[in-house]
């Protein structure tokens, strides 16, 4: 085997799209690990998160380094949303390929705005963008796909258009094959068993935020950030203390819930996830604190890790 074959195809793939199309669900399905949090509410992902899939099976190794990005926001509602859009633009600039995700049954103004950000292929070269038509499980007829594919193909010279269901894990091998064609030959970028660049503290804080997103009413999640205040861990167990930051006093009461029930439920679900992540029993203490208008406060964004 020559060197090139031994190293295989490897590179970065940015996953972009408007909010809530299923980018993080697709990343987790492709990587096979719960790297990036998901919820039915838009604006779940706030930062770039890497998920690594290494396919070491002969004849050639492949390593995909997926960059999950926040859903591209149509309006800059706050400093946080501006930072989220900057994260999308930065990811697009530095990757080898782009995975653009839309919902199979519609094309919206939000999709159009993301399309406008995509790099135009250089003269005589093919594009580096693969389009995934996600949530095909929600289509009433498989026949509905053909006209959809024709319609989106006319909008941009995609390298490929692949129908998938991230939730049902359908269509993923053809999607990977199309993306692999766009990656350069080279040595592996990450260790064989590494599936993210994020440390466990980040993953734990994100799991807590995920449970809050899933359990709270629509008006609240955008205003929640989670910090880890204490982390003590030995071979047998871990003790973690975390704060859920909200923007207003009224929100604090909503997160805590009647008699503390809501916060207990968030803590119970998050604790179970974190115990799986660490493969040991976990004690998790959660607190709720108010930091007024943290969404627009540069110092707070820095303190909460949204640089
Ligand atoms: N039916 C169906 N639902 C899906 C599929 N993929 C994702 N979803 C759902 O769509 C919702 C949004 O999924 P996310 O993965 O959080 O979407 P996202 O694009 O990362 O969202 P943001 O991070 O907010 O931009 C969740 O409720 C998912 O369960 C799919 O293939 N089929
Ligand atoms: Mg997401």
Local structure of residue 230 (DSSP, 8 states): E
**pLDDT tens readout for residues 166-185:** 999 999 999 999 999 999 99
Give the separation between CA 23 and CA 25, rounded to whole angstroms. 6
45 lines ligand 1 (CB under 6 A): yes
C-alpha distances out from residue 37 to 200, 223, 297, Å? 13, 16, 24
List beta partners, residue 303.
none
Q: Does the pLDDT value for residue 11 go beyond 50?
A: yes
Q: In this structure, which residue's CA is closest to atom 10 in ligand 1? A: 22
Residue predicted with more confidence, 6 or 292: 292
19 lines ligand 1 (CB under 6 A): yes
Average pLDDT over residues 53-58: 83
Q: What spacing in Å lies between the alpha carbon of 23 and ligand 2's midpoint?
A: 5
Give the separation between CA 65 and CA 51, rounded to whole angstroms. 6
CATH of the structural domain 200-303, one choice from 3.30.300.20, 3.40.50.2300, 3.30.70.120, 3.40.50.720: 3.30.300.20
Q: For 3-181, CATH number?
A: 3.40.50.300
pLDDT band of 305, cuts 50, 70, 90: confident
Percent of the chain scored above 90 by pLDDT? 65
Q: What spacing in Å lies between the alpha carbon of 20 and ligand 2's midpoint?
A: 7
* 3-state SS string for 164-182: CECCCCECHHHHHHHHHHC
For residue 4, what pLDDT is reported?
Answer: 39
Sign of the CA dihedral with 18 first, then 22, 26, and 28 last: positive
Q: Does the pLDDT value for residue 2 go beyond 70?
A: no
**pLDDT tens readout for residues 110-154:** 999 999 988 888 887 889 999 999 999 999 888 889 999 999 999
For residue 257, what pLDDT is reported?
Answer: 92
**pLDDT tens readout for residues 191-246:** 888 899 889 999 999 999 999 999 997 767 778 999 999 999 999 999 999 999 99
Q: Does the pLDDT value for residue 67 go beyond 60?
A: yes
Q: Does the pLDDT value for residue 8 go beyond 70?
A: yes
pTM surpassing 0.95? Answer: no
**pLDDT tens readout for residues 255-275:** 999 999 999 999 999 999 999
Domain ranges of the chain: 3-181, 200-303
For residue 79, what pLDDT is reported?
Answer: 86
pLDDT band of 7, cuts 50, 70, 90: low
Query: 3-state class of 59 per DSSP?
Result: coil
Ligand nearest to the CA of 19: 1
Q: What spacing in Å lies between the alpha carbon of 15 and ligand 1's midpoint?
A: 13
Q: What spacing in Å lies between the alpha carbon of 2 and ligand 2's midpoint?
A: 39
For residue 3, what pLDDT is reported?
Answer: 43
**pLDDT tens readout for residues 86-103:** 888 888 888 999 999 999
For residue 170, what pLDDT is reported?
Answer: 97
22 lines ligand 1 (CB under 6 A): yes
């Amino acid at each position: 085997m020559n060197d090139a074959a031994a190293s295989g195809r490897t590179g970065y793939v940015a996953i972009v799209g408007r909010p809530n199309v299923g980018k993080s669900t697709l990343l987790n399905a492709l990587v096979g690990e719960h790297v990036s949090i998901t919820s039915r509410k838009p604006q779940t992902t706030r930062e770039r998160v890497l998920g690594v899939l290494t396919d070491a099976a002969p004849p050639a190794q492949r390593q995909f380094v997926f960059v999950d990005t926040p859903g591209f926001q149509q309006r800059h509602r706050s400093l946080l949303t501006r930072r989220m859009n900057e994260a999308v633009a930065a990811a697009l600039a530095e990757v080898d390929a782009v995975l653009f995700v839309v919902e199979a049954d519609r094309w919206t103004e939000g999709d159009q705005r993301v399309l406008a950000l995509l790099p135009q292929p250089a003269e005589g070269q093919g594009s580096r963008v693969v389009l995934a038509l996600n949530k095909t499980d929600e289509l009433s007829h498989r026949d509905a796909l053909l006209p959809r594919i024709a319609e989106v193909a006319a909008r941009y010279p995609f390298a490929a258009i692949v129908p998938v269901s991230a939730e049902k894990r359908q269509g993923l091998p053809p999607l990977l094959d199309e993306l692999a064609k766009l990656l350069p030959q080279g040595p592996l970028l990450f260790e064989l068993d590494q599936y993210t660049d994020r440390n466990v503290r980040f993953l734990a804080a994100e799991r807590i935020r995920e449970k809050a997103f899933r359990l709270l009413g629509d008006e609240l999640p955008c205003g929640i950030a989670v910090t880890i205040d204490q982390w003590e861990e030995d071979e047998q167990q871990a003790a973690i203390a975390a704060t859920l930051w909200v923007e207003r006093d009224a929100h604090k009461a909503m997160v805590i819930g009647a008699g503390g029930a809501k916060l207990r439920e968030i803590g119970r679900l998050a604790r179970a996830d974190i115990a799986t992540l660490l493969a040991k029993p976990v004690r998790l203490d959660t607190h709720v604190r108010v930091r007024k208008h943290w969404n627009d406060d540069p110092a707070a964004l820095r303190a909460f890790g949204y640089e």
